[in-house]
Structures are given as structure tokens and as C-alpha cells.
Amino acid sequence: MRRTLALSTLVALSAMTEAHAQTWINLSPASGPMPSARRNASAVFDPVENRMVIFAGTPSGAASVLNDVWGFDLDTNTWINLTPAPGPPAPAPRLFPASIYDPFARQMIMWSGQASGVFFNDVWSFDLTANTWSQFTPTGGPPNVRYGVGYTFDPIARELVTFAGFTNLGRFHDVWRFNDQADTWTDVSPGTGPGERCLHAACYDARRHRMIMYAGQNNFGALDDLWALDLDTDTWTQFSPAVKPSGRFFASMIYDAANHRAIVFGGQTSLNLVNHVWLFDLWTNKWTQAAPGGTPPSPRAGAAAIYDGAHDRMIVFGGSDGVARNDVWALAGLSSIVTDAPQVIPSLELHANHPNPFNPATTIRFDIGKSGRATLRIYDVHGGLVRTLFDEVRPTGSGAATWDGRNDAGHPVSSGVYLYRLTSGGEVRARKMVLIK
């Protein structure tokens, strides 16, 4: 059970270094097969095999890049080479690819990156069951070739979301979505938001369905800003904490789901490489610098990282401290620092459906503050009941339901405006959505 701290103590923690923190543990195997040393690889967490999967990177720069795939077993701390046999199809070697885990198809989707004299905007799928590559041939767009993007996976829309990046044409500040089912790129760039940049970090806020984006680099040097992209509306909001880490790029970032916060490790500041750990609490919107016990990884940039929620830890691979590394580290005991005041889930929240407009289906997210009977129903504009998505006892917490555009009889309904209405504990919330055929 998590400790409860007085609010005054929590305020103090947000502006100072925590004395009793997590612990660094070196998980690097002493022998056996292992990937070569590298920086700027990508990493995803494969929950089916309970492993970290890494792809590509470089030992020394764009002139010597890799395209191998490795899995690190989080139970045995051993590596297995997942690289398919040489020959097509396979992505070209590169550094700084953007890779996400798609749980619906059990695939790693990868796009972008850089090699010597070339930037990429190709999109690939790595089948995590068969260990094979296949290339997408998207319609729409595509985004300009680039590397150094911030990215995440939107599990509601089932889309890769990517922001900004760099080429020899300069830096970008656009937002794109890739839908693997439709094999389509869509430019969803809002009118306002973060400035042009590259080499920034990002993670997915599962509680509030947002991409959290941190820092990076522009023409003037290292950045220190922090933003949230609402994945329901594709709009940006900037955080303005009073205390924050120094600007940096090539940092590693994960979302700590158990504690609803982003965790940042390492990176390159304007002055040097660092191995700091910073926690950004997404309840209170405040930074806390941690001081983990144990022997830490060397100060470095370009490390890959994943969140291992089952073991309450952050896993970090490789990076460069002036020399490329292939070590594996665990920042264990993430929950040993409490950075938030006890939170109360709002009594009832109904979020915007996504996508909207939609065809053929859309997802509706909601938060219920107290367990009890709840209903979620769809109505036409005249108030006629179209579909009951649920009418049952629901637990406290967040949830989601999908409407497939059919009525209670299972028949498709016509295009038009529909209302969705959530009731629980005597409270009611309602919103509009549009079905287009």
C-alpha cells in the first residue's frame, strides 16, 4: 500500500532532491549472446513474452548504423537474437527509429530514422510471433523524411502518433497519425503548440489519454519545456512547473502507470551528459528529482527505456557516455517515492469519443468516482433510444466502451448526429458525436 504524506511534505518534495529513493540494479548478463554496444536504438515492452525488444541504433554515428532486433527476457536477464535471416524484406540500418508496441496485432511498428546521408519516412511492422518484417505502403501524406521524433501509440484509435523531428531541411513541429489497419497517414497538426524541435522524448499517459512530450533541441540549444497532446482532440497544453530539470535532448522517458507520472533519465544538457532521474507527477504537475540508491549508470545520452509495471521498475538499455554501451539497468522500486497528494477521481466524467466524426466505430471513455450501477446509452437527436452499451454495476475508475454504429437489434444506423449519455450515482453526463457513411 502506498504511503500517505502530509501535503506540506509533498510540496517540499516537489522542489528538492528526495533523500530516500529508488535503487539502480545492473542487469547486464556476464555472458551469452547480446547486442553490440549502441546508442539511439528503439525499445518496446512485449508483455506476452515479458521482454524488452530493441531495434537498430549506432555504435558511433550515422556512418555505422544497425538494423538488428534483440529481446531481453525480464525474468532471466538474458538476450535472444530475434533478427530475421539476411535479405529482404527488412528496414535499412538506421539510428533513432521510432518504434511502438501494438497489442492488437502483437507487432512492433517502426518508422523514421537516419543513416549516413539519408533520412527515412518508411513504415514497417515486426511480427513478434514470427520474427519477420513487412513494409507498409501508406496512402496520405506521408510526413517528410526525418529522425529524432517524439512518438507514442494511441490504443483507443489504434494509431502511431508522432511529433516533430529533424532533416537537412530543418526541424518540424507537425503531428501525424499512422493507422496500420487502413495503412494511412493523417496530418493532425494543431494550429498552436510546441515549437520546432528534434531529439525530444515522449510517453503515453494512459489515465488521461495524452502524449506527454518533453524537451529536445532547436536552433538555440537544449529545451526544457513539457507539453501534453490530448489524443481525443489532437490539441496541445503546456505545463508550467515552478521547478524543472535543465534543458536536455537524447533523454529517456517512460510513463509510470502505477503512480501516474512521467520519469526522465539522462540526456545531453547544454554543458554535459547527465544520469539524473526526474519524476513529473501528472496529478500535481510538479517535478521531483530522485536520488536512487545503488551504483547508477554512467551519465549518458541516447539510451532506450521501457516501463516494467509488473516489477515496479524502469529498464534502461545502452546509450553513450562518450563510448557506446550495451549494458542493461533497472531503476527498481519506482513507487518508493510518493510525489502526489491522495487523489479523488471525479464523481463522473464523460470524455469526447474518438474518432469523431467516425465510421464505422468509435470509442467512448469515462471515469466513475464511486462503484455502483451505471448506464451508457446512445440516443438519436429526437431522444429515441438507439443502443445500450452497458447497464450494470461498474467499479470505481476509468473505462471505455466501443459503439459500432448499430442499434440494439444489431442493424446499422444511418449517418447523423447522436447523443451518448452516461449515468451513475444520480449524476448524468452527455455529449454529441457524428456518424458519417
Q: How many CA atoms lie within 13 A of 387 on its CB side?
A: 18
Non-local CB neighbours of 355 within 8 Å, separated by 6+ positions: 157, 362
Query: For residue 244, how many other CB atoms are within 10 A of its CB?
Result: 18
Q: Which pLDDT score, from 0 to 100, does residue 328 have? A: 98
Q: Which pLDDT score, from 0 to 100, does residue 345 have? A: 57
- Give the three-state DSSP class for 268: strand
Query: Pseudo-torsion of CA 81, 51, 290, 38, nearest 10°?
Result: 10
Which H helix or E strand runs over 8? helix 7-13
User: Domain ranges in the chain?
Assistant: 7-336, 348-435
Q: Which pLDDT score, from 0 to 100, does residue 342 have? A: 55
Non-local CB neighbours of 366 within 8 Å, separated by 6+ positions: 348, 349, 350, 351, 376, 398, 399, 400, 401, 422, 429
Q: Which pLDDT score, from 0 to 100, does residue 17 have? A: 39
Written in H, E and C, the secondary structure of 139-186 is ECCCCCCEECCEEEEECCCCEEEEEEEEECCEEEEEEEEEECCCCEEE
Q: Which pLDDT score, from 0 to 100, does residue 8 have? A: 32
Q: Which pLDDT score, from 0 to 100, does residue 18 have? A: 40
Architecture of domain 348-435: Sandwich (2.60)
How far, in Å, CA of 313 to CA of 271, rounded?
29
Cell numbers standing for residue 91: 528496414
Q: Which pLDDT score, from 0 to 100, does residue 398 have? A: 82
Cell numbers standing for residue 170: 530543418
Cell numbers standing for residue 113: 530514422
Q: Which pLDDT score, from 0 to 100, does residue 1 have? A: 28
Q: Which pLDDT score, from 0 to 100, does residue 164 have? A: 98
CATH of 7-336, one of 3.40.50.720, 3.90.1150.10, 2.120.10.80, 2.160.20.70: 2.120.10.80
If we measure between CA atoms, which residue out of 201, 228, 245 comes closest to residue 282?
A: 228
DSSP assignment string, 364-401 = EEEEESS-EEEEEEEEETTS-EEEEEEEEEE-SEEEEE
Q: Fold identical between 7-336 and 348-435? A: no
How far, in Å, CA of 266 to CA of 300, rounded?
6
pTM: 0.79
Question: What parts of the chain have a pLDDT lower than 50?
Answer: 1-20
Q: What are 251-279's pLDDT values in tens digits?
A: 999 999 888 999 999 999 999 999 999 99
